[in-house]
Amino acid sequence: MRVTEGKQLSLAAGRSKQKKMVIELKELTQALTKKDIRNWQIARQLAISIEYPNRLPLYDIYDDVELDLQVTGAIAQRKRSVMQKAFKLVDAKGNDNPELLTIFERPWFKDLIELALDTPYWGHTLIELGDVTDVEGVPGYTYAKLVPRRHVKPEFGVVVVNPSDDQTTGYKYREDAAMNAWLIELGKDRDLGLFLKLALQTIPKKNMLAFWDLFGEIFGMPIRIGKTTSRDSKENSKIEKMLEEMGAAAWGLFPEGTEIEIKETTRGDAYNVYDKRIDKADGYISKGILTQTMTMDNGSSKSQSETHLELLKKVIAADADMLRDMINYQLLPRMAMHGFPVKGFRFDWDEQVEYTPEEQLNIEKMLLENFDIDNDYFINKYNVPILGVRQKQPAIVAPASPAKDETKLGKDFFD
């Protein structure tokens, strides 16, 4: 911050300017907050319009919501928990087919899953499948990418060329069978997503961070005062340059006799005004995305953290159920239509019970003692080649020692 005043600056004028600065800061704070929340209200009203819904202003706000680090971390935790789950393809009898899994172990399927998992936050999602291709004998799609949301009007099932176009000029993808065969649609027509609610926390949080920075800029650094009686503009310019290059703190160059009063807050915990509000916003964001806070923030007890973990598992289960429905009722029928060998199979999550190493050892020992186990189980699990059953060596029996004459032993002992 730079303060340069002429020779006519008086003490009263300085106080007047300082008072004006405080008033302007207050007005700026109110203007920013009101503007942001007002923009959210207007954008929401436009998006929920029945006759002419327009989501463009709301998506602009969503772009800012997505940049919030707390939002990013919470979504990543929820997404990765689902994407790391094992899955299988089973027939009508419940038998799985591991060979078919190679079709889905491709980037296009991972991109599809990740885009689908954005649906709870953005609302309606439309995904386009690329052309069918063959890589090393395994069929797949060239890509799975998002149809830009600003070009989609889900209320009418229309994709427009320009985001500002009217829905009457677009392509009706739901009615066009040829187009619909390459599209995956998730979310309800008028679903605006969780970002609508999260914006009410990210907007004040963003402002609080800005106000905290402004507070630190004004009151966090001491002001440097330069005094001179010279009226030479060249000499004053040299002094100004010297003051400016001394650091980032505020500075001023005033005629001799000028008095500047800097009022600092008397509260040592003024930062809490910002810090506490930011913490509150982060807590609300975690609750909105994860339905709890302790899997991201510090927990106070083990029992509470276990309860919160159970809540997170329910959210993950809901996301997994949404994906399973999408794959079974949209993706697999389209894949069968495009020539993939998936007809008669359905997608399901491989919910295997996880055991501790000790429990696994006891289970395998019990199985080996009571059943004939295929060698491939141990070969695939431990990556150890098994050549065959090891022949047991005959036990070596030590020769019996000659019997001792107990009578003689007693005689020798007492002799």
List the structure tokens of 70.
């707390």
Instruction: Give the total number of structural domains in the chain.
Output: 1
- Predicted local confidence at residue 48, as pLDDT: 94
Give the distance, in angstroms, between the CA of residue 195 and the centroid of all CA atoms in the same chain. Answer: 13
pTM confidence score = 0.69
Contact 173, 184 (CB under 8 A): no
- Predicted local confidence at residue 12, as pLDDT: 45
Sign (positive or negative) of CA dihedral 119, 122, 123, 125: negative
Contact 281, 204 (CB under 8 A): yes
Type of residue found at 106: R
pLDDT band at 17 (very low <50, low <70, confident <90, very high): very low
Give the tens place of pLDDT for each residue, 178-223.
999 999 999 999 999 999 999 999 998 988 888 887 777 666 666 6
Residue 397 lies in a domain: no
Type of residue found at 233: S
Contact 127, 116 (CB under 8 A): yes
Residue 392 lies in a domain: no
d(CA 373, CA 371): 6
Q: What share of the chain is helix, strand, coil (3-state, %, to 5)?
A: 55, 10, 35
Give the tens place of pLDDT for each residue, 25-50.
445 555 555 668 889 999 999 999 99
Residue 188 lies in a domain: yes
Residue 409 lies in a domain: no
Q: How far is CA 271 from CA 25, 110, 213, 277, in A?
A: 17, 43, 10, 10
Contact 193, 120 (CB under 8 A): yes
Residue 386 lies in a domain: no
Sheet with strand 158-159: strands edge to edge? 152-153, 158-159, 171-172
Contact 21, 2 (CB under 8 A): no
Identify the domain containing residue 281 by its residue range. Answer: 10-223+269-354
- Predicted local confidence at residue 13, as pLDDT: 46
Give the tens place of pLDDT for each residue, 259-280.
444 555 555 566 777 888 888 8
Residue 4 lies in a domain: no
Residue 329 lies in a domain: yes
Residue 408 lies in a domain: no
Give the tens place of pLDDT for each residue, 362-381.
877 887 788 777 777 777 77
Contact 58, 43 (CB under 8 A): yes
